[in-house]
Structures are given as structure tokens and as C-alpha cells.
Amino acid sequence: MNTGYIAVMDSGIGGLFTLKRLIEEMPNERFLYFGDNLNAPYGDKPVSLLNILTLKNVRRVMAHGVKAIVFACNTLAVNVLGNVKRFVPVPVFGVYPPTEKTATEGKRAVLFCTERTAERFKDSENLKVVSLPHLAKDVEKNADDLSAVNLKAHLDSSLKYQKILSENYRFDTVILGCTHYGLIENQFFDHFCPRDIISGDAFTARQVKEFLRISGKLANNKEITVDFIGDCAEKNRKLFLKVVNKP
């Protein structure tokens, strides 16, 4: 069914950043955004609860006629996607921190992410994993004025990050391992300049497009459609308009 929606799901507003990338890659599709804002943040919740919430939310989304689902949320991708996709009749994709890419390219990186995501990655010579336990929540709370989020304060209060600095770990790449961080990527750019700031969103967008193309499900609508559902649909729609209008 190439007329179905591509559903984009996150704990809240972080997936809007991914949605923007998906639209850039596939401008002739219909997108359905679901943010579980009332249950955000996900990053400090037990995996068992994330499984329950996700299955419930996927059911809600599926009722709208969906041909693919994207977990625009690293926390869901690394913790529950493998389990949940067994129960979903359409392909499910996720946004993952691109740690393998940096390793293959011989980069030295710091991965910033939620607590649940951090548990899935190990430090190595070329990768240091830093969870920022309150940053996604802070972004979610300050959706109306993202300049109120103070990235530096979160970095300063991270013991792990302070340790990395004191050990003089030299890194050239910063991995945004939480889609919420994309909404304040300007702060990451400013703070970590001239290092590369990367995330998994663009890769996922290309992967979804390639899958739909190969399976003959790529739509060719004249106009793009983006619909919002969920308890905070209107809030998410308004913020999305701001996000797309940013260069």
C-alpha cells in the first residue's frame, strides 16, 4: 500500500527533527507524527515499561493506515525495536547512534545520549559514552523557547564528561544519540566547534527511502502531507512548523 502513512514516533518533540530529515529525503510521502509527550522522557524509564508503552502507541498509530513506522527515538530503537517489531505487521525502522560509522572512519567520538541508551554502548579507545539524564526532559519542557535550555550546565554536571576532559581524551566527533538534542544542535555546534556533530537521522531517512523504493511502496503524491496525532498533537504541529522553517 503506497498510499499509507509513514508513521514517526518519539517520546515527544525530539522526533520532529527526524521528521524534517525524512521529509527532505521523501518529499512525496504522507507522514503521521505521534509524540507520547505526556509520558516523556523515555530515557530514564525501565525497558519493560518502554515495551508496554510502545506496543500501545504502535496500535494507536496503526489504526490510521500505516505502511512503515520510524522510531525517531534512539532510546526506543536500541532498547525495544527488536522486540516490538515481531508484533507489528509493517516494517519498523529506528534512529541509532552512528557509532559504527565513526569507528570505521577512524574517528574519536563522544556519544551523548539518554541513560537507557548509554547502557547499550561500551566505552572504547575511540568512543566515550556520556548519558545526560535530564537534557531531553529540559528540551521537552522548553519547547516554546529552546534558548532556555542550557547545554553547558548539563555538560558541567556530568561527572563522566568531566572525567573525560580531565583525562585529556581528544575527540573530533560528537554523536547526538538522542533526537531531542537535534532541536538544540546549534548549542552543540557552538560548544564543540570545530568538531563534527553527527546523528543517525539522515542515515535512517535514506534507509527508509531505499526500503520503500525496493518494495515498490514509495509514494508519488504531488503534495506532502504531515498529520499529527496524540494528546499533544497541536503543540507538536506548531513546533514542527518552527523546526522546518529553520535553515
Q: From CA 175, how far away is CA 197, in angstroms rounded?
A: 6
Minimum CB separation of residue 14 from ligand DGL in Å reads 3
Which of helix, strand or coil describes residue 117? Answer: helix
- Are the CB atoms for 22 and 71 separated by under 8 Å? no
236 near ligand DGL, judged by CB under 6 A: no
61 binds ligand DGL (CB under 6 A): no
Give CA–CA dist 19/9, Å, rounded.
9
d(CA 34, CA 75): 16
Site residues (CB under 6 A) for ligand DGL, limited to 119-158:
136
CA atoms within 13 A on the CB side of 179: 35
How many other β-carbons are positioned within 10 Å of the β-carbon of residue 55? 15
Give whichever of 42 and 121 is closer to ligand DGL, judged by the CB atom: 42
Q: Does residue 219 touch ligand DGL according to CB under 6 A?
A: no
Pick between residue 213 and residue 242 the one whose CB is nearest to ligand DGL. 242
**Shortest Cβ distance from residue 125 to ligand DGL (Å)?**
25
Site membership for ligand DGL, residue 180 (CB under 6 A)? yes
Using the rule CB under 6 A, is 178 a contact of ligand DGL?
yes
User: Looking at beta carbons only, is 1 or 49 nearer to ligand DGL?
Assistant: 49
Q: How many residues bind ligand DGL (CB under 6 A)?
A: 16
Q: Give the residues across from 198 on adjacent strands.
A: 175
Closer to ligand DGL by CB, 149 or 219: give it.
Answer: 149
What is the smallest separation between the CB atom of 98 and ligand DGL, expressed in angstroms? Answer: 13
Q: Exposed, middle or buried by CB within 10 Å (0-12, 13-18, 19+), for 103?
A: middle
99 sits near ligand DGL (criterion: CB under 6 A): no
Question: Please, what is the angle between helix 201-214 and helix 15-25, to 10°?
Answer: 50
CA distance 25 to 239: 20
CA distance 243 to 247: 9
79 counts as binding ligand DGL under rule CB under 6 A? no
5-24 mask for ligand DGL (x: CB under 6 A)?
-----xx--x----------
Distance of CA 70 to the CA centre of its chain: 10
Q: Which stretch binds ligand DGL (CB under 6 A): 69-77, 148-156, 191-199, 225-233?
A: 69-77
By the rule CB under 6 A, 37 interacts with ligand DGL? no
Q: Where do contacts with ligand DGL occur on this chain (CB under 6 A)?
A: 10-11, 14, 40-43, 73-75, 114, 117, 136, 178-180
